Structure 1
Amino acid sequence: MDQFKGADGWFKTIEDELGQIGTIKELILDRANNFSMGSMRRVDDNGIGQIEEVEQPTRGSISFTISIPERIQQKFNPYSVAAGRKYEIGTEFQVDTRYLFHGPVTFVECVNAPPGTLASSAVALVREYLRSELQKLGGTVELLVVGPSPFHADFRIKTMPGAKPEEFDPINIQKARGFDICTFTFHQEAGIPLEILKRISQSIISDEFSLYYELVRDREIRSDQLQGIAIDLDILVDMHQTRGIKGVFRRLFRSSHKAREIILDILTAEAAEANAKRSNTQQLKELKEQPGRLIYQDKLQDQIDTSFITELRALKESASMLESGRTKEFEVAVLSLATLLGAASGAVASLIAK
């Protein structure tokens, strides 16, 4: 935060750098003074996650429209790259980022999309295009995302004349292969502008998405801890598989420290699992107590129920078993050495007696 000279500096830096991207129009920033530290996971070129503390607003918003010409879309759209073809999603996109208590949520709207558009692919397209443009600027603004995307959904708004029927559910989720389709239906006698309906729809799902992505970030951080412990266990196994006198010395004098280190890391990770379960359950409880309904409560609960306790216990058993084998090997080595020293002492005493 210090490098931006407070909240105003933070927003001003973003405004200045986004303003240098020629395809961005109608840039609007709703500034806020509420900031908090949050943990973000950055993945390097080797797929290894690194945890960073990032300060960001817990209130406010950033919105703009962005134009991405069709001729370059295939280059930036991961779906097009994977399929080897272009997706028809239009060229104008409305991007709205809301900063909330648990973290930011970004909505991408296809403004001039043809019917049947795979709208979710626009999220990836805008993300990769913005990353490229920000890198060209070489400034301080960087786009951080939670990925790979935990789930995909297209959100649509539908209007119908008249009052809403008593038993009608205005929110419908259609399960589909690859992408769910969530439709918000508004019955209205007086025409309410689509922009207002869009804001209402975003407000309904923003808080639960903010919590959802925090749960995903927390899961990824714990997963990285598990991966690190597994790598250390592989090193320990390698020590025990090394043959010859070199292997004996590695097991007797180095593997004990490594095994203790692994077991301590596992105990720390097990405590983190218990804390995450308790904290995340409380956060979901508080969200459920707020007015309105949760659309994706099952997905929130799935993230909370994700646990690495079974894997951690298996790693601990493996480390303990290897350490137990090393202890027995050390006892045998000491006993053998004592026998050799005893025999040598007996031989010396015999020579002296003669």
Structure 2
Amino acid sequence: MEMDFAGRELPFVSRTGSIYFTPHPVAGMLRFRITIPRRIHKELMPFVTGEHSEEFTVLVCYWNDFPVTYVLEGNDVKLPDSIGVAIVREFLQKELKRLGAEADGVSLSCLGPSPFHANFHLAPCAEPIPDSSGIAIEKVNSKSTTILIRYDASHLKTSADAFARFSELTIAQFSYYYYQVALRHRRLDSAIRISNLTAGLIEMHQLSGFRGWVLRAFRSGRLAREISLAAISYEFETTTEQQSAKRTLDELYDKSSIALFRPWIESEIEEDFIAEHKASRETADLLEPRRLREANTLLVLLVAVISALMGATAKLLIG
């Protein structure tokens, strides 16, 4: 039996990279079967070639950190990499739109583009598996896209039993992985925002003439402070968040008999975007002295002009 896995994120869904809604349930499961005729596969996924399964079982499992969706494909046809997940996703999106479900508050939220493309294959093992779980990972490498999972057929009688056991052992790892993916998306949003602010600050300093002089004197200072404070807060919060995540990761794998997804989780945790925030903060700090010099020059000129006007007015009054 071939399985594809995909995460469905609720607080941090990616339609335009924004955060949409929270919270999500932390327990429970939604299960349904869906038939998608082969004749519309090409319409849903134009780049797909060949024949694919029509029958899919979808399980949305809600867990402590984030929900995880499993797509189990029919046994009639083997699909290439993760195509089953994509077919189901595109079909549901199309049908919900056709039915006008969003007007009734029903929508499909997903984490994308998918950060994790892998095919999980379950197969019985000819020999007994010494691990009490009855599950063994036969082929898995860091960043591999194909993972073969053997199960002890004398202990787990059917592939359905094996899947249930595998998901029981790994749901916490999947859930925590997609939680970290969501946090990474939030960090990326912050990096994009502060980069845009910094680009605006640089553009302000590139303006020539009196208008640029005035803008720098009265507006760029506030913008530079906003960038610096945002970067400092981000660096502190992200460092604290990473330390907590690594402790949680150690605890998670201390309790698990299958250490399967750790490289992927660590990769998400380590991508912190601190360098982008630091570069923005340094840019703001570098440009601030220029603004202060120009502001002081402008102040001196204004004082001189006001003094001259006052002198001229006094002379007229006296004179």
TM-score (norm 2): 0.85
Deviation digits for residues 245-297 of structure 1, max 9, x if unmatched?
11111111111111112222222212221232122112212212324222011
1:186 aligns to what SS in structure 2? strand
- Pick from 73, 93, 106: which aligns with 2:56? 93
Letter in 2 for 1:58: V
Distance 2:213 2:220 in 1: 10
> 2:39 aligned with 1:39, yes or no?
no
1:155 aligns to what SS in structure 2? strand
Residues 194-209 of structure 1: matches in 2 within 5 Å?
Answer: 194-209=159-174
Letter in 1 for 2:95: E
Q: CA RMSD in A?
A: 3.1
Match of 1:282 in 2: 247
Match of 1:62 in 2: 30
* Structure (1/2) with the larger strand percentage: 1
Distance 2:156 2:299 in 1: 89
93 and 50 in structure 1: CA distance in 2 versus 1, 3 angstrom threshold: same
- Pick from 141, 144, 147: which aligns with 1:182? 147
Residues 222-261 of structure 1: matches in 2 within 5 Å?
Answer: 222-261=187-226
Q: Is the 8 A contact 1:270 1:309 kept in 2?
A: yes
Distance 2:156 2:302 in 1: 93
Match of 1:156 in 2: 121
Q: Is the 8 A contact 2:122 2:149 kept in 1?
A: yes
Distance 2:274 2:290 in 1: 24
- Pick from 94, 115, 120: which aligns with 1:132? 94
Task: State how many pairs are aligned.
Answer: 306
Deviation digits for residues 99-124 of structure 1, max 9, x if unmatched?
11111111111113424x21511101
114 and 307 in structure 1: CA distance in 2 versus 1, 3 angstrom threshold: same
Q: Is the 8 A contact 2:124 2:152 kept in 1?
A: yes
TM-score (norm 1): 0.77
Match of 2:137 in 1: 171
Residues 266-277 of structure 1: matches in 2 within 5 Å?
Answer: 266-277=231-242
Could you say which structure has the greater relative contact order, defined with CA pairs below 8 angstroms and 6 or more residues apart?
Answer: 2
Distance 2:115 2:52 in 1: 22
58 and 169 in structure 1: CA distance in 2 versus 1, 3 angstrom threshold: closer
Stretch moving more, 257-266 or 213-222:
257-266
Q: Could you list the runs of 5+ residues in structure 1 that have no partner in the other structure?
A: 1-36
Q: Is the 8 A contact 2:81 2:117 kept in 1?
A: no
